[in-house]
């Protein structure tokens, strides 16, 4: 019965104000669920005593009539790449085993300032490199709907913590779909804001010009409430946009003030050979239903589709090669016993023992594309593709409000099935990477159930910095077009 209060932030906070429940009761409920769902391996660490103490503090604050924050009592988990002062942050890697953060990420600072409760940090692919959550030193995260299937990645632990009612909302990070893809696989809402909408200060870097903190929730309205709190300028991150986003309007206001949207369906992506036929049919049917409801829906083509995945992996691995060079075992990070005295061998031994296979592979690929003789042939070309895609994005959004796409080519697949075919695994990112390459916001909205019993969503994209438009359209789909 307790979970009836936790279906949405608004419902939960109303129950708090009515004294129908308490923060302490909520935290105890989620802690019980975490214990019962330990086999899913979603959490790296649970802050049990700390979250109970904070819940009691917030209950007293409310009873004393003191002003309450926008996220008062909301129970949140964070991905194990987001810094939380005096707590471990390991990026799912042996390289950072037992490393404790000495400061808060800006996003965490803003959550705490608005009375949120952080219940734990969540498992993820090592240094956020992966889309199955099988690359973690802590083992894979299991999908709560079918534990033989992957949760998706790299934010699989964060997504499963929401999916299995172990918290209300979670923070993840999205470099090429790492919030949206697992959200699709697990049947929850995953939102990647525009690049620069949320400070990356305190987010352990994979590829700095792609990485963005994202929000996972049961519904778009809850994601919007968290986004409203954590977005905005930060003196510690020069890439943050100076825009102040307006709060998302209610559904009644959306319908009244925005009677129709102009929606683009990218034909050559929807007809891609990798796409499951049932998912394709569902997206086509959704487009048809939107058109019947008075929205303008047109098909367009996107050039350079065949170059998106190669460009993405060239650029992100190049940035990873640079970012991860700081982990050398000297200043911090894993240091092997009986390390050689010669410095290059010292580095080699530390990194060979501490980094996992996927991270090593991406570092080597990134180092290769940045090397003399290959820089212009690969890295420069990939940057040109990225620039052209960003220009095409701007042209599309001159005419349209929204792009409608699948999120992933298939539903969640069997654990271990992609291990021997990394190319197929990388190609699974084809629908999500466009948003990261062009810096636009994207979301996966849970709408459908496949005949195989697994959920899948529709992906929606909007113009850069039109995050509120995206959230409002997501809410429209969620409330009026959900079929499962």
Catalytic residue positions, numbered: 79, 154, 178
On whether the CB atoms of residues 356 and 126 are closer than 8 A, the answer is yes
Backbone φ and ψ for 69, nearest 5 degrees, come out as -75, 170
Quickly tell me which residue has 């209610």 as its tokens: 250
Residue 368 burial by Cβ neighbours in a 10 Å radius (0-12, 13-18, 19+): middle
- Please name the residues in contact with 316: beta carbons below 8 A apart, sequence gap of 6 or more: 175, 176, 206, 207, 210, 362, 366
Give which of 165, 88, 152 is closest to 124, Cα–Cα: 152
Residue 77 tokens read as: 């988990």
Give which of 72, 129, 192 is closest to 364, Cα–Cα: 129
Give which of 270, 322, 288 is closest to 459, Cα–Cα: 270
Helix extents (H) in 195-276: 220-230, 251-257, 267-270
- CB burial readout 136-163, b (16+ within 10 A) else e: bbbebbbbbbbeebbbbbbbbbbbbbbb
Query: Cα dihedral sign for 14, 15, 16, 18?
Result: positive
CA distances from 174 to 46, 227, 398 (A): 23, 14, 25
């Amino acid at each position: 019965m307790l979970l009836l209060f936790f279906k949405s932030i608004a419902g939960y906070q109303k129950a708090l104000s009515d004294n129908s429940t308490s923060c302490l009761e909520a935290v105890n409920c989620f802690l019980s669920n975490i214990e019962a769902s330990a086999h899913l391996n979603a959490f790296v660490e649970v802050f049990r005593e700390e979250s109970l103490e904070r819940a009691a503090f917030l209950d007293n604050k409310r009873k004393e009539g003191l002003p309450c924050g926008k996220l008062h009592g909301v129970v949140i988990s964070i991905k194990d790449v987001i810094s939380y002062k005096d707590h471990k942050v390991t990026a799912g890697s042996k390289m950072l085993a037992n490393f404790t953060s000495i400061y808060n990420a800006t996003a965490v600072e803003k959550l705490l300032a608005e009375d949120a409760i952080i219940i734990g940090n969540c498992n993820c692919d090592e240094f956020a490199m992966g889309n199955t959550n099988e690359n973690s030193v802590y083992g894979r995260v299991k999908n709560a709907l079918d534990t033989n299937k992957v949760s998706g990645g790299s934010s699989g632990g964060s997504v499963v913590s929401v999916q299995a009612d172990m918290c209300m909302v979670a923070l993840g990070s999205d470099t090429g779909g790492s919030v949206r893809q697992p959200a699709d696989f697990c049947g929850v809402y995953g939102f990647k804001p525009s690049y620069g909408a949320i400070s990356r200060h305190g987010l352990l870097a994979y590829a700095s010009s792609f990485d963005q903190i994202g929000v996972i929730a049961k519904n778009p309205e809850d994601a919007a409430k968290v986004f409203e709190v954590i977005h905005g300028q930060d003196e510690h991150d020069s890439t943050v946009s100076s825009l102040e986003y307006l709060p998302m309007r209610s559904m009644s206001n959306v319908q009244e003030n925005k009677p129709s949207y102009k929606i683009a369906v990218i034909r050559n992506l929807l007809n891609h050979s990798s796409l499951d036929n049932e998912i394709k049919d569902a997206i086509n049917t959704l487009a048809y239903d939107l058109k019947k409801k008075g929205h303008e829906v047109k098909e367009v083509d996107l050039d350079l589709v065949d170059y998106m995945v190669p460009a993405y992996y060239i650029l992100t691995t190049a940035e990873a090669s640079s970012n991860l060079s700081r982990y050398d075992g000297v200043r911090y990070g894993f240091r092997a016993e009986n390390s050689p005295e010669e410095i290059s061998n010292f580095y080699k031994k530390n990194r060979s023992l501490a980094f996992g296979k996927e991270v090593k592979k991406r570092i080597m690929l990134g180092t290769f594309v940045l090397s003399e003789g290959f820089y212009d042939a690969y890295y420069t070309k990939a940057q040109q593709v990225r620039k052209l895609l960003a220009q095409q994005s701007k042209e599309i959004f001159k005419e349209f409000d929204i792009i409608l796409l699948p999120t992933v080519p298939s539903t969640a697949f069997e654990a271990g099935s992609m291990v021997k075919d990394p190319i197929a695994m990388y190609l699974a990112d084809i629908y999500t990477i466009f948003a990261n390459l062009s810096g636009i916001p994207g979301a996966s909205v849970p709408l459908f159930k496949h005949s195989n019993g697994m959920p899948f969503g529709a992906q929606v994209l909007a113009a850069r910095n039109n995050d509120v438009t995206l959230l409002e359209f997501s809410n429209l789909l969620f409330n009026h077009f959900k079929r499962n």
